[in-house]
Structure 1
């Protein structure tokens, strides 16, 4: 759970598919409180399309603008497609909207196979999660939005945000052919990624707004189309999606593979940022792969090397922290507001959860659109700051300073003490440490509070033990005098 998982949730290419969906739970009916109001959503990724559906459900007419082509027509997006595994946190938003999820076994996650640097294998089962590629999830949600709200949601592709006039409630877009269009809005939703133009407009409007952006320190290249018999016996008995993680002698260098519905495997080759610049030829790539990894199928290595040498690296995520998520008539969600790295697999899932929070806030505001942005910040900011802190602490596993690293020590003490208390006092403590509940809908603020509480309890316990041992030793010394 605490090891780097760059592609479990966020960075493995996988074949597109939106077929074979299960029966959806009935959509929760709401009174459309915002009829006659217009919302503009910037960004048509999973967060933007999901937010559009929550807005349309409440009566808004919604225009969604995306700077890229539609995913199914975007060769760049398709080529860099990475997987998103929807856990209960992300699934809850789609369930509330009545959006069905795939039911075919090859889309249902079975678990993860870890291959260590010595070739030994470890297996963890993770039933119940659903696998998409990022681009296929984006396209699927676009299709769902069009199908469910054909008269209310309009998508505009190749339409890049060129400026926001917050006082005038106006946003402009650069469109294909060099033109520019302007739109008035009652509510503007910035779901335009870690480099958000909407967020930049908010920063200009609020000079004291604080935004920090940290890089993951990793970059990756993708490969695909390989086949092989790599599944352990436990996963051969029934079909399903699996993830393989190969680690090396340093935490930054990994290879991953994810099973695709067509029987092939796709994956990533990751290095510390800048590492790919030292590799000049296909032979250099293959030599490094053979040096670093044990257990990657031998016939895969030339294929991975050739495909990686022909592509450019992509950054493996950023961490964004904002001091506020709103302004007059404006709010931020998804990576624009709270991007995280892939280490815990929370990026897309936290973004969809933010959309669900938006749906709740729309109801609570009772049709008064002016209340929505500030209410959204009040409802979401603490959890997003908590997630940012958890994500940052997880990087102690890459620094490898061990017990000298306070973040590592805090996480370790929480998991160890939490495991003991969950066995001894499950009726008081719960059945597992809070950090292991990231896949659930437990609020991030509750998880980080538990981490800090347990680490403090462990520190106090060790200090008390130290004092007791010191006193006991002092008594023995005095007795011997």
Structure 2
């Protein structure tokens, strides 16, 4: 077995080289003598995006860009010098939610996971060329938390053993580091919700329409749109959700979800019936990439897809000389689109905690856990409420089911938040910049997820009080009007 190369001293080992792990390498580097990042996937490149079911559109908000700035990074995909911010989304061909002049705290950026990871890897190499080493195609094979030793298999053959001062688990929702911590009694987990929604991705469709062939554009004027300027959504209760976005080359990538039948003919017919606004040539292009092949779903090269995740609550995010960030610590689903934003913000909180404690790992981890755990739980609670609000009840109980009381609570919470938020936006647009309160709260790094949940509760309480007062007034009027004296 080969020992890891690198200088001796305080060493940070990061398991997972996705966006959270790469940001952590730069953000935590000042507290350590050397940093090693091990990622089980291949190095993120444009070719890797074409081969990956995990390259999907994400919307980064102020929480993410603040985390990048705190670490001294400026990834190209969300930098004004190289990209344009998102200026609203098209829903069934109609533009909604234009950013306008809402200010930097409301600015968002459309990115894809592999592209963001590639930009962050380049930025980490620029910011920490001598201290950080990145290893791809590197699988964690053995972990001894008591001895502080981790073993990795690189390129399927070379075993590398690492010692560390801090081990950081940034290895996603199925985290091996989290499993080891749970086995060692450092934390407990509770599965709150397991999304049954499956998605499959597609790439490289032409946005141009051949008029001589009778083709239409996806939306009028799309050829004038810039890469990642908009998302294009097509949703229907009776059909799949199809999301398009434009990559750097000007071609259309995206994903298909909420679909239960991946048969080629059935899927094409479903898209035609529920999304007639999608041009025929694009519908055919999507189906060609995401549908099961004629040989069946198990055939070689058949798309397998991925699930929209699960909500798993961890009783702690840290243990002795080990910590979790991102989906390893607080996995969520895609209902509110906060997974990546929350993951990157957790890295910023961890880096700040270590710096506040002068690099003392034990004290820094205690501070991080106390500052972040309740906040992440609040976000997971809101995710569950949204899932219960939008998903139809299931006849068969499962991990994707919710009780009737929780469904009623979720409906009351989100409906009142939407109504009160809209009223406040009309009355005080400077303090409530978007008609839907949660959109603004989730974007703004100055508003914690715990504060957002408290505000939602306050809006529900206010709406409930007004409703009760109104009903009492109606009842009193009816009594005076109809009950004889």
> TM-score, with normalisation over the residues of structure 2?
0.82
Question: Any gaps of 5 or more consecutive residues in structure 1?
Answer: 1-34
Q: SS of the residue aligned with 1:125? A: coil
Contact 1:106 1:260 (C-alpha < 8 Å) held by counterparts: no
Are residues 238 and 180 of structure 1, via their aligned partners in 2, closer, same or farther at CA, if it must alter by over 3 Å? closer
1:331 aligns with 323
Higher relative contact order, chain-length normalized (CA < 8 Å, sep 6+): 1
Contact 1:245 1:257 (C-alpha < 8 Å) held by counterparts: yes
1:248 aligns with 236
Q: SS of the residue aligned with 2:277? A: coil
1:412 aligns with 415
Instruction: Please tell me the root mean square deviation across aligned C-alpha atoms, in Å.
Output: 2.7
**1:113-132 residue pairs with structure 2 within 5 A?**
113-115=90-92, 121-126=94-99, 128-132=107-111
Superposed displacement of residue 457, structure 1: 1.7
1:17 aligns with none
1:21 aligns with none
Q: SS of the residue aligned with 1:405? A: helix
Are residues 64 and 73 of structure 1, via their aligned partners in 2, closer, same or farther at CA, if it must alter by over 3 Å? farther
1:85 aligns with 59
Q: From 393, 398, 402, give the equivalent of 2:385.
A: 393
2:167 aligns with 188
Superposed displacement of residue 57, structure 1: 2.5
Q: SS of the residue aligned with 1:343? A: coil
Superposed displacement of residue 227, structure 1: 2.1
Contact 1:105 1:239 (C-alpha < 8 Å) held by counterparts: no
Measure the CA separation in 1 of the matches of 2:477 and 2:46: 74
Are residues 467 and 60 of structure 1, via their aligned partners in 2, closer, same or farther at CA, if it must alter by over 3 Å? farther
Is 1:307 aligned to residue 286 of structure 2? Answer: no
2:459 aligns with 454
Are residues 238 and 198 of structure 1, via their aligned partners in 2, closer, same or farther at CA, if it must alter by over 3 Å? closer
Q: From 434, 443, 449, give the equivalent of 2:448.
A: 443
Q: From 138, 150, 165, give the equivalent of 1:171.
A: 150
Are residues 181 and 269 of structure 1, via their aligned partners in 2, closer, same or farther at CA, if it must alter by over 3 Å? same
Are residues 45 and 212 of structure 1, via their aligned partners in 2, closer, same or farther at CA, if it must alter by over 3 Å? same
2:339 aligns with 347
Are residues 179 and 295 of structure 1, via their aligned partners in 2, closer, same or farther at CA, if it must alter by over 3 Å? same
2:273 aligns with 291
Q: SS of the residue aligned with 1:151? A: coil
Measure the CA separation in 2 of the matches of 1:73 and 1:174: 25
Superposed displacement of residue 151, structure 1: 1.7
Q: From 3, 15, 18, give the equivalent of 1:45.
A: 18
Measure the CA separation in 2 of the matches of 1:362 and 1:106: 32
Measure the CA separation in 2 of the matches of 1:77 and 1:336: 25
1:161 aligns with 140
Is 1:266 aligned to residue 244 of structure 2? Answer: no
Are residues 390 and 60 of structure 1, via their aligned partners in 2, closer, same or farther at CA, if it must alter by over 3 Å? farther
**1:20-35 residue pairs with structure 2 within 5 A?**
none
CA-to-aligned-CA distance 1:282-335 (integer Å, 9 cap, x gap): 323322221221200111122211111242222123323211101111110011
Is 1:94 aligned to residue 85 of structure 2? Answer: no
Contact 1:54 1:356 (C-alpha < 8 Å) held by counterparts: yes
1:370 aligns with 362
Contact 1:46 1:137 (C-alpha < 8 Å) held by counterparts: yes
Contact 2:422 2:437 (C-alpha < 8 Å) held by counterparts: no
Superposed displacement of residue 133, structure 1: 1.9
Q: From 128, 135, 159, give the equivalent of 2:114.
A: 135
Superposed displacement of residue 361, structure 1: 0.4
Superposed displacement of residue 176, structure 1: 3.0
Superposed displacement of residue 207, structure 1: 6.8
Measure the CA separation in 2 of the matches of 1:430 and 1:352: 24
Are residues 233 and 180 of structure 1, via their aligned partners in 2, closer, same or farther at CA, if it must alter by over 3 Å? closer
Measure the CA separation in 2 of the matches of 1:173 and 1:74: 25
Are residues 92 and 213 of structure 1, via their aligned partners in 2, closer, same or farther at CA, if it must alter by over 3 Å? same
Contact 2:247 2:253 (C-alpha < 8 Å) held by counterparts: yes
Contact 2:148 2:165 (C-alpha < 8 Å) held by counterparts: yes
Superposed displacement of residue 357, structure 1: 0.7
Measure the CA separation in 2 of the matches of 1:430 and 1:177: 52
Contact 2:166 2:322 (C-alpha < 8 Å) held by counterparts: yes
Count of paired positions: 435
Superposed displacement of residue 423, structure 1: 3.8
Are residues 347 and 224 of structure 1, via their aligned partners in 2, closer, same or farther at CA, if it must alter by over 3 Å? same
Are residues 319 and 48 of structure 1, via their aligned partners in 2, closer, same or farther at CA, if it must alter by over 3 Å? same
